[in-house]
Amino acid sequence: MAEKHTHPEAIADAHADQRAWIFVLLFTAASWFVLSVSLADDAARAGLEPGLEPWLREGASHIASLIGFLIVPVMLSRFPVSLQSWKTSLPAHILASIAFSIIHTLIMVALRKMSYPPLVGYEYEFGLADPSIWLYEYRKDAYSYVLVVTFFAVSRTMEQRRLEAQAARSDARKEGRLTLKSGGRTLFLNAEDVIYAAAASNYVEITTQHGTHLARMTLSSLERLLAETGTNHIRVHRSYIVHGDHIQEIIPTRDGNVTIQLDNGVTLTGSRSYRDRLPGEVHHA
């Protein structure tokens, strides 16, 4: 039988979900502790002896929430949260939030009914027949559902970006090709064609032999990507990277910096912090 291979993006989602579950578990434990302590403190201020009741009350709710949260990764896999799919995803997640609230409420009540008699000495009453109670629970549960969906969605997005960056480094190392995001498109450039790059806020302006492109990344990220290609690109300033083969002249200035003249007529500033990366002084041919 042929070995079954799992798609890299599915593996990435699984890794992302593992991290999200750790965060959700920690957040839920912290919420249980804080709310239980708050209830116990309120009871003590009222002259009552809270005992285990606050911990059982909140513990049942938080355990029920964790069980209900199992539907979140399933829903995200079938109905991803994105601007392109919101018309389908939004109604699906609204229905899922209602299902989550029902699951949470029923399990919470069952746990409290089982634990209260032996541990606090009286029966727990909830009032499942009252619609207003279900509406009250749903208002809280809808918030919890949205919060956890956000945790998982952000974790998956971060993992997908890591996967894309890994693929880009592989392309750079094996093929000398840069894979960049530009204006909602994926742009492929031959690394040797990059004459220089300049930082531009949250973007990098990359000038090649064939034109200029704006990529959404940091200059440091581009520097690491270019290093994978093995080309002769040099960081000469916090705002500039140049291809060493296109440097025509390097002129020292009085302040310790340098002026760099490229063979396409462009003049850039080189910082004293990066002078040790520059080749020896280059003069006109």
pLDDT mean for each 10 residues of the chain (285 residues): 59 90 96 94 87 94 96 93 85 96 96 94 89 93 96 92 82 84 82 92 88 89 91 93 92 88 91 82 43
pLDDT of the residue at 196: 94
Distance in angstroms (rounded) separating the CA atoms of residues 225 and 221: 6
In the chain, which ranges are continuous DSSP H helix?
8-45, 53-68, 71-78, 86-120, 131-175, 219-229
pLDDT of the residue at 6: 66
pLDDT of the residue at 20: 95
Q: Give, rounded to a whole angstrom, the gap between the first and last alpha carbons of the chain.
A: 66
Domains, the chain, with CATH or none? 8-166 (no CATH), 177-277 (2.40.50.1020)
pLDDT of the residue at 170: 82
Distance in angstroms (rounded) separating the CA atoms of residues 200 and 238: 11
Integer angstrom CA distances of residue 69 from 8, 19, 165: 24, 14, 30
Integer angstrom CA distances of residue 151 from 17, 57, 95, 244, 275: 9, 25, 19, 44, 44
Q: Where are the beta strands (DSSP E) in 191-231?
A: 194-200, 203-208, 211-215
HSE value, Cβ hemisphere, 13 Å, CA-based, for 188? 7
Cα dihedral sign for 224, 230, 234, 239?
negative
Query: pTM of the full predicted structure?
Result: 0.74
